Amino acid sequence: MNVSSILWLTWRQHRWPVTGVTVLALCAAYALLATGAEHQVVGALMLPGFYAIVVQLVFGGVIGVFWGAPLIARELEDRTYFVAWGQDVTAVEWLRGKVVVLGLLAAVLGAVIGIGDGFTGDPERTWNSFEAHPALQAGYAVFGLALGVLVGLLTRHVVTAMAATLVFYTVVRGLTSTLVRVHLLPVEREIVRWESTPRVPEGALTLGTGFVDSDLDPVAVTDRCAALNVNTCMRSSGAAVGRYVDYQPLDRIGLFQFMETGLFVLLTAVLLVVTFRILRRSGGWKPTRSHRRIEPDAAQSGPESQNEPDEQPDAQSKPDGEADQSASDTAAAQAEG
């Protein structure tokens, strides 16, 4: 199958989902880049920008639900895979071509979604707009596509695959943003004694605070101080000699964005490897050509079997003729007698 055939087939089967998602991405990108009137407060979030950020958060899931999940699930559910995979193209080649075309388009649209953050006149990056990055959004998009394809292959039902893809995508994105992202690199820690105040760099992401003992190691709040003024009690009781603050500095945003992009690209590769391995090794839904192939023995026995009905009446007619002849001879003998 050449490139033009792959493009035509993909467009023919997925033109409406592709068109809808493309329009959504372009509208969201326009809203994210809109700066609004000059009198607006710098860093303000416009209402179109808010809706565009929502699209930015769920765009990879949209790709997975409407592009990835029905890709194989519809063929298996409608049993059209006998036609799609029973020609000169194998199931692996068919899926490879579609994944390449849709994956490239998803990455491009994801990059378009990531070019803006929805804030007006804010020239600097902040942790609040962490996901406003073209490479990161492209990674989310291809991950959603790969996830949907694998779920569709396992469920073999379009609606079930779409729902499961949305759930799994949301869980993975939620766990990544809350548990993995902030720990890609060790946190910075600011430790001060009671007479000083912790100073966190401007724009840094604060992750936690606590108390330190005389060895400057974190110490838990005692049971006695839990119900009182914690700072005063910990200081007066000598349970702590100061405080600490854990944070991620602002200058790590770019590095964290590329690290998370690499993480989702790796997950995408794993999902695709698993998908192709299952598709290649599982024969339960693979069409075979044996039911359409004429074996040599069958071809030779065919004419003989067709001649048998013709010969059978002749065999039956001959005894009937002999019986008629014998009957007429008997009648003639009786007449002569």
- Label residues 242-264 b or e (16+ Cβ within 10 Å = b): bbbbbbbebebbeebbeebbebb
Residue-level pLDDT at 303:
47
Quick one: which H or E segment has residue 232? helix 230-236
Residue-level pLDDT at 245:
93
CA–CA–CA angle 18, 23, 28 (5° rounding): 125
For the stretch 47-92, pLDDT in tens is 666 777 888 899 999 999 999 999 999 988 988 887 777 767 788 8
CA 157, CA 314: separation in Å to the nearest integer? 57
Backbone angles phi, psi at 189, to 5 degrees: -125, 130
Residue-level pLDDT at 113:
92
CA 282, CA 152: separation in Å to the nearest integer? 15
**Which letter does DSSP use for residue 181 in this model?**
G
Q: How many CA atoms lie within 13 A of 114 on its CB side?
A: 22
Q: How many CA atoms lie within 13 A of 217 on its CB side?
A: 1
Q: Are strands 218-219 and 188-193 parallel, antiparallel or unpaired?
A: unpaired
Residue-level pLDDT at 146:
97
> DSSP 3-state assignment of 242?
strand
Residue-level pLDDT at 44:
58
Cα distances (Å, whole numbers) of residue 224 to 65, 214, 215, 227, 234: 52, 19, 22, 7, 9
From the number of C-beta atoms within 10 Å of its C-beta (0-12, 13-18, 19+), residue 227 rates as exposed
Residues found in the chain = 337
Tokens of 67: 């592009």
Spans of the chain, pLDDT less than 70 = 1-2, 35-49, 87, 119-125, 282-337
Please compute Rg for the chain using Cα positions. 37
Residue-level pLDDT at 198:
83
> What predicted TM-score, i.e. pTM, was given to this entire model?
0.78
CA 225, CA 158: separation in Å to the nearest integer? 56
Q: Which long-range contacts (CB under 8 A, 24 or more apart) does 279-287 make?
A: 279/72, 279/91, 279/92, 279/95, 279/153, 280/91, 280/92, 285/76, 285/81, 285/156, 286/85, 286/91, 287/81, 287/82, 287/85, 287/86
Instruction: Choose among 288, 261, 331, 335: nearest CA to 60.
Output: 261
CB neighbourhood size of 201 (10 A):
12
Instruction: Choose among 169, 216, 160, 227: nearest CA to 189.
Output: 216
Residue-level pLDDT at 311:
46
Tokens of 269: 């590769």
Tokens of 8: 């035509």
**Which letter does DSSP use for residue 87 in this model?**
S
Residue-level pLDDT at 290:
46
CA 268, CA 139: separation in Å to the nearest integer? 8
Tokens of 277: 């391995």
> DSSP 3-state assignment of 208?
strand
For the stretch 103-155, pLDDT in tens is 999 999 999 999 887 766 555 668 888 888 999 999 999 999 999 999 999 99
Q: Determine the straight-line distance between the first and last CA of the chain, rounded to whole angstroms.
A: 89
